[in-house]
């Protein structure tokens, strides 16, 4: 450490500078000889201390040096070792200019110089440690302020979402009990997505984890639900609205679609494509062998919610197709080139869901899009 941060030496008369540098070198202390006051002043910021002969500063313009000393940050008090002649006394004005001064009267034993320099270097290191601590504290405070602003932003968004769910559910519910159940289910879906984000310090949530949290209650020994796709980490701004949309799809399938009957099957596949400097998530939700489907005569809250959160908030393109055999939902959602805040640890879906395993009793991959259904 001492060899990396040198002690500066300014003793222009005779061989004093060479002798002092040799003494420090033998003691394992790095040093740099400065030819003049200007060079010394320029090197102060990178040095551990400065050994200066009083005569080197006599009759010199000390303005630049005094300015550097006065502009030191609060943590800094640069140490100077001032060498005086025997019988003389250091100039009061000079001591005031330098500030943190240790005065050594020449001649002195080499060990005196070594001890004084080591003490000064140790004090400078402590000052640097104080600087690092203050900088870290400043970064911590800035990060805390950012987190508070982010929390405020997310709480406002969450409350707005809850209010929208409340109003829409109240407008579509036929009874109080119906309102309670539908509203509670939607709040729980929002909570599950939030829990996945909290596990990663609100950085990302895995798409497979969001799907599993919604669909696991409907999957049984018959393997009614099949998921296939690569690992995809979604930022909070995408995970929350997509989680809400998937909940609406799941609720519809459980009430009216493939998950409402034992023989029903659901296949969800997804992939990510690199396009220019960004990525696009493509997702296909396909229900089969459920109750016969009829195209709805009106648009319900579920479809409105999906369109609002995905098309308007996430700039996604989506499509519902209708066929008597089951609902198919198609989604194209733009993603950043890389997650904005990658999670520090892998989620439980770190391994991609296999794309090679059969998804249904018959092959569906590569077929033309099948029709889809949506409950009003």
DSSP string, 138-187: HHHHHHHHHHHHHHHHHHHHHHHHHHHHHHHHHHH-SSHHHHHHHHHHHH
Q: Give the whole-angstrom CA distance, residue 161 versus residue 247.
A: 14
271 phi and psi angles, rounded to 5 deg:
-155, 165
Site of tokens 């002092």: 20
pLDDT value, residue 254: 83
Q: Give the whole-angstrom CA distance, residue 59 versus residue 355.
A: 83
Site of tokens 């929390």: 151
pLDDT value, residue 246: 86
Quick one: DSSP state of residue 375? Answer: -
Q: Give the whole-angstrom CA distance, residue 16 versus residue 303.
A: 87
CB 300 within 8 A of CB 172: yes
pLDDT value, residue 222: 66
CB 113 within 8 A of CB 24: yes
pLDDT value, residue 118: 95
Q: Give the whole-angstrom CA distance, residue 289 versus residue 373.
A: 13
Q: Give the whole-angstrom CA distance, residue 301 versus residue 292.
A: 21
Q: Profile the chain (376 residues) by mean pLDDT over runs of 10 residues.
A: 76 87 93 93 94 89 94 95 82 89 90 95 94 93 80 69 69 80 76 65 79 80 85 85 84 85 91 87 93 73 70 84 86 74 39 36 31 35
Kindly report the length of the chain: 376
Helices 207-215/236-256 angle, 10° precision: 30
pLDDT value, residue 201: 55
pLDDT value, residue 268: 95
Q: Give the whole-angstrom CA distance, residue 37 versus residue 337.
A: 53
């Amino acid at each position: 450490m001492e060899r990396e941060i040198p002690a500066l030496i300014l003793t222009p008369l005779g061989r004093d500078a060479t002798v002092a540098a040799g003494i420090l070198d033998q003691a394992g202390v790095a040093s740099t000889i400065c030819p003049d006051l200007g060079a010394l002043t320029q090197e102060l910021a990178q040095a551990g201390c400065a050994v200066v002969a009083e005569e080197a500063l006599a009759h010199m313009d000390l303005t630049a040096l005094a300015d550097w000393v006065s502009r030191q940050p609060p943590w800094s008090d640069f140490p100077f070792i001032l060498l005086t002649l025997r019988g003389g006394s250091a100039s009061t004005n000079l001591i005031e200019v330098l500030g943190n001064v240790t005065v050594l009267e020449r001649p002195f034993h080499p060990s005196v110089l070594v001890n004084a320099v080591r003490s000064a270097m140790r004090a400078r290191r402590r000052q640097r440690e104080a600087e690092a601590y203050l900088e870290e504290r400043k970064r911590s405070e800035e990060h805390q302020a950012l987190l508070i602003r982010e929390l405020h932003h997310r709480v406002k968004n969450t409350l707005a979402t809850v209010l929208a769910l409340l109003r829409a559910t109240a407008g579509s519910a036929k009874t109080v009990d119906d309102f309670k159940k539908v509203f509670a289910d939607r709040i729980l879906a929002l909570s599950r997505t939030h829990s996945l984000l909290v596990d990663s310090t609100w950085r990302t949530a895995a798409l497979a984890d969001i799907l599993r949290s919604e669909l696991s209650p409907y999957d049984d020994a018959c393997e009614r639900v099949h998921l296939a796709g690569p690992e995809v980490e979604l930022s909070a701004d995408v995970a929350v609205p997509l989680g809400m949309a998937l909940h609406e799809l799941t609720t519809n399938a459980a009430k009216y679609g493939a998950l409402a009957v034992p023989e029903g099957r659901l296949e969800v596949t997804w992939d990510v494509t690199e396009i220019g400097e960004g990525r696009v998530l493509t997702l296909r939700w396909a229900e089969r062998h459920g109750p016969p489907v009829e195209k709805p005569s009106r648009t319900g809250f579920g479809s409105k919610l999906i369109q609002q959160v995905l098309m308007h908030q996430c700039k996604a393109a989506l499509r519902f197709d209708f066929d008597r055999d089951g609902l198919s939902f198609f989604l194209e959602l733009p993603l950043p080139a890389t997650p904005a805040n990658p999670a520090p640890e892998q989620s439980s879906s770190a391994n991609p869901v296999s794309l090679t395993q059969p998804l249904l009793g018959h092959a569906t991959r590569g077929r033309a899009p099948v029709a889809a259904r949506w409950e009003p």
